[in-house]
Structure 1
Amino acid sequence: MKKRILYVEDDNTLAFLTADNLEQYYEVVHFTNGKDAFDAFKKEDYDLCILDVMLPQMDGFELAAAIRAINIEVPIIFLSAKTLKEDRIKGLKLGADDYLVKPYSIEELILKIEVFLQRSQKQPTIKNNTCTVGSFTFDPDNYVVIKNGESTQLTERESALLKLFIDNKNTILKREKILTELWGTDDYFMGRSMDVFISRLRKIFREDESIRIENIPRIGFKLIAP
Structure 2
Amino acid sequence: MKYRSVFDIIGPVMIGPSSSHTAGAARIGLVARQLFRDQPEKVSFHLYGSFAKTYQGHGTDVALIGGILGFDTSDPRLTNAVEEAQKNELAFEFIIENEVSHHPNTVKIVMEKNGRSMSLMGISIGGGKVEIKELNGFELNLSGNHPAILVVHEDKYGAIASVAAVLAGKKINIGHMEVSRKEEGKDALMVIEVDQNVEQETLEEISALDHITQVTKVHE
TM superposition score normalised by structure 2 = 0.29
TM superposition score normalised by structure 1 = 0.28
More strand by share: 2
Bigger RCO of structures 1 and 2 (CA < 8 A, at least 6 apart): 2
More helix by share: 1
